[in-house]
Structure 1
Amino acid sequence: MSKILIVAEHLNGQLNASTAKCVTAAGKLSPEAIDILVLAADAAGIAAQAAQIAGVSRVLTVERAENAQSLSAVLAPQVAKAAAGYSHVFGPSTTFGKDLMPRVAALLGVPQVSDLMEVVDAQTFKRPVYAGNAIVTVSAPAGAIVATVRTASFPAAAEGGGASVEALSLDVALPTHTRFVELKAGKSDRPDLQTASRVVSGGRALGSADSFRIIYSLADKLGAGVGASRAAVDAGYVPNDMQVGQTGKIIAPELYIAIGISGAIQHLTGIKDAGTIVAINKDAEAPIFEIADFGLVGDLFTLVPELEAALG
């Protein structure tokens, strides 16, 4: 019977939604238990949030001053130590998880499955390759497995759980060769792109950074996050942290509106798990229309203001 440990991702005392998505993925194995590991300097608030996720058996906390920042070199030895007795160790396929989980797998001497998007059985999983153009089935050898979960492929587990919270004491020496200097992060009043239920994205057809104001305006009307195609980012219209796609952020909002985006395969890979896709483009043959649920063919500078006006 599987027993799964999930490493919680958090920042500034808030649990990232990716953790609840990992719980959903873990649930596909019908495990004996799903435990969440919270590593922090002060874990109480984060642990309380994790305990509310349905399906979680226990929340294990490790409080150390060294855990004040999520440094993978510092966290990995602790995760590896805590993983004793677990059949699977999951982390999100985010910047946090991609940095941390390979170190954990190396310390444990076990295989890692990256970007897990579907669970077949306890040792077999599906994951995308070639920018999402193909899906491969991978089978890990018997024994413990470390995996990063492609969060766009799984909905967040519901709240309403009541897991117990237990402090964990780990006798593990931490490396000193890595130290925290500073964290620089963009600030926005809009919803976070990777967790927003609605996202409006603009492409190169906007023509300039100034023209992106109509994207921001529509997004504000919808209470949506704002994204962009790689072409728009490369053109300098918006910063690269707004890029959606295989080489940017892979997202799965309930509603995705693509404006002036032709639909290169790398972009489509990043949005294929969206609930409803709406495309606005003057080219009726644009690839984006092949996957769009609703499409508007015409001048975006005319259609977008009309759409915003219709929203009231």
Structure 2
Amino acid sequence: RESKLFCERKCTARRVVGSVLGVIGVAVVFLLLLGLILAYFLVPTNPYRFVDDDAWSYGIVCDLGSNGSRVRIYQWSKELGIPVQRSPLGKYYFWEHSEEPGVSSYGTDVNGAAKSVEGLLKYAQKKLLSLNANVEDTAIFLYATGGMRLLNSQRQILLLDAIRLKVHEYPFRFEDAWVAVISTKQESIFDWISEQQTLLLKNEYGEDMHHFQDVTDGSMNTWSYQEGDTIGIIDVGGASVEIAYEANELDRVSLSTGSPPAPNGSGFTGNLNGTDISSILVA
């Protein structure tokens, strides 16, 4: 009798365990299905997943800043009307690689300066090959900013020539003029154009890719884009600060002389607490 009772209890326990496992299994399957459904409706679809590799064009920009150097890869399709965006497209992350210190810190060590950009070049080449891109048809630009502007012209020439020789060791499409020290005005223009491009992408693809906020009366609010809006930018770098914005009629005078701006909409170049300032009034 005890043996029979034990068997009955054992069978009952098995049935209970089996029932619990069955419920857990059903719950797991349900949650997986629910997750897939939510992912389908909530996760943005990559709008470029059906674009052929041959339809893309690529470009590389290296920012040779005062504290470090960074490389970014861009892609677009003129044929399909897809604007310039950072690679890889349709992802939540972008490719970027940095090296420290900045090239200007090498002084007369031209070999060290050239070697400092080698990591950027290798990174860009590797990522392009992963996209089946034509590396030999991909242009690369290396622009030095505030740190290099503080050096004398002779030292700039030595460092830039060493970097040019290093770039020529790689298969990118490259011309010597594409390594340069850009002015504060040029840097401001690049800042402004890049922000307007980002705004264009935000307007086209929604909040899935870019998010903007504005400050009103000291509070942070989500910014609602209106057609024709532009974004102002303050670029606080290691050795310089650039300001770029679209000016209204009252602003369209030179902040340094009080005179009307040049026809191209440029503003002023000045100095604030020892920091180089360039303001571009984009009219």
TM-score by length of 1: 0.22
Larger radius of gyration: 2
Q: Kindly indicate which of the two structures has a greater share of residues assigned to helix.
A: 2
